[in-house]
Amino acid sequence: MKKLLLCFIVSASLIACTNQETKTTNGDDTNIATFKENSKVVQKAFDSFIINDLDAWSELFADTAKFNSPVLGDTSSTKSASRKNLVGFHSITKEFKITKVVYLPTVDTLTFKPDGGVRSFVEWNMVLLNGDKVDMKYYAYFKFNSDHKIVLGNEFFDAGSYIKLATEAAAKVKK
């Protein structure tokens, strides 16, 4: 009897495990479609930054967009402050290039379902003013409004070390 009961429990467990399907709702599908559209916006922002077209970059962000800078102690959080930081990066760097990028959807922290936002994992290659090459890993996530404008940007990379290295390289060129 015990063997029969054990066999039943094992069989039921196997059936329960193998018959489970991942189900999505129409809301999930809509949010994945929104994520895909918003990923294109993030790519345009990166592309605009790379060619130093900060007017095109600015068009992709809501006027009220907020930023959380990766620079230790930097309290700038506005669109104009972020744009000023990008001007600074271009002043100490000859070239920016993306060597690899992966976009993944952000998820609602309560439901763990896609919410239309974009996470980006990027490998950057930069050429400093003195010709030195620097590779850097970058992570950011972005939230959007219904017009596909970025309303929140959180960036994570070693900005302090990069700024120090690029500034030192720029100083060598000026000598």
| 101 secondary structure, DSSP code | E
In a domain, 17, yes or no: no
In a domain, 140, yes or no: yes
Classify the phi-psi angles of 120: left when phi > 0, otherwise alpha if psi is within -120 to 50, otherwise beta: beta
- pTM of the complete model: 0.82
Summarised one tens digit per residue, pLDDT across range 72-86 is 888 768 999 999 999
* 165: three-class secondary structure by DSSP: helix
Neighbouring C-alpha atoms within 13 Å toward the C-beta of 85: 19
**CATH code of the domain containing 49:** 3.10.450.50
Rounded CA gap, 115 and 143, in Å?
9
The domain of 51 spans 25-174
Provide the residue-wise pLDDT of the chain in tens; the chain has 175 residues. Answer: 556 545 545 454 544 554 444 455 566 788 999 999 999 999 999 999 999 999 999 999 999 999 998 888 887 689 999 999 999 999 999 999 999 999 999 999 999 999 999 999 999 999 999 999 999 999 999 999 999 999 999 999 999 899 999 999 999 887 7
Number of domains into which the chain is organized:
1
